[in-house]
């Protein structure tokens, strides 16, 4: 007797939803865009954000356009692009991300004007997690410093980022 299947055989391209081993619950998912021609970004290009780690969550980065500098403890520093696919930063690994302004093209010919990437993290049941509240607080505070000229305050940094440990 021939075996039968309940679902017709088809490729993944024919299915509207495909669940696989990579399916995961996310705490957040953002599409981040850096305008590489913005005066604030150009003025701060020589500075990098602080190294930090997240104790409970993997962080996922996938470049959609341009180049993103990534420095992960144990793996060193490198630029990633569309061709690298999704990059995973494990919990407890110090890391930092920054847009790459100089893509190495001579005289800036055809230089990228935008860096765009997907940023997400797995969900966790832990109380102190990287989520949308963290990003609202953290980037709101950075906006106060960069745009409004506020002074950085270590206590404020610790208050707005309980889910993240910074190496200051």
Q: What is the pLDDT of residue 104?
A: 64
pLDDT digits over 7-65, tens only? Answer: 344 454 554 444 445 567 898 899 999 999 999 888 888 888 878 888 889 999 999 99
pTM of the model: 0.73
DSSP 51: E
Helix (H, G, I), strand (E, B) or coil at 149: coil
Return d(Cα 71, Cα 77) in angstroms, integer: 4
Query: Checking DSSP bridges between strand 165-167 and strand 51-53, what pairing results, if any?
Result: antiparallel
Alpha helices in 8-153 (DSSP H): 39-43, 132-146
**Would you kindly state where each structural domain of the chain is located, as residue ranges?**
25-128
Q: Which CATH number describes the domain made up of 25-128?
A: 2.60.120.10
* Structural Rg of the chain based on CA atoms: 20
Confidence of residue 120 (pLDDT cuts 50, 70, 90): very high
Return d(Cα 21, Cα 24) in angstroms, integer: 8
In terms of Cα–Cα distance, which of 63, 61, 51, 67 is closest to 100?
67
**Cα-Cα-Cα-Cα dihedral of 93, 129, 134, 150, to 10°?**
-60
CB 40: neighbour CB atoms within 10 A? Answer: 11
Least trusted range by pLDDT, from 59-63, 77-81, 106-110: 106-110
Residue 32: beta bridge partners?
A: 117
């Amino acid at each position: 007797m021939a075996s039968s299947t309940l679902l017709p055989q088809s490729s993944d391209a024919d299915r509207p939803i495909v669940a696989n081993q990579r399916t995961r619950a996310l705490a957040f998912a953002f599409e981040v865009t850096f305008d590489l021609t913005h005066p604030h970004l150009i003025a701060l290009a020589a500075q990098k954000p602080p190294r930090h780690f997240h104790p409970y969550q993997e962080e996922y980065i996938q470049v959609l356009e341009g180049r993103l500098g990534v420095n992960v403890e144990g793996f060193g520093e490198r630029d990633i692009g569309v061709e690298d696919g999704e990059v995973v930063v494990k919990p407890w690994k110090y890391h930092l991300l920054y847009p790459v302004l100089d893509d190495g093209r001579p005289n800036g010919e055809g230089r990228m004007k935008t860096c765009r990437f997907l940023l997400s993290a797995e969900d966790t049941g832990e109380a102190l997690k990287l989520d949308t509240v963290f990003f609202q607080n953290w980037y709101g505070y950075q906006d106060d410093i960069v745009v409004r000229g506020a002074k950085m305050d270590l206590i404020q940094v610790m208050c707005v980022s309980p889910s993240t440990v910074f190496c200051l």
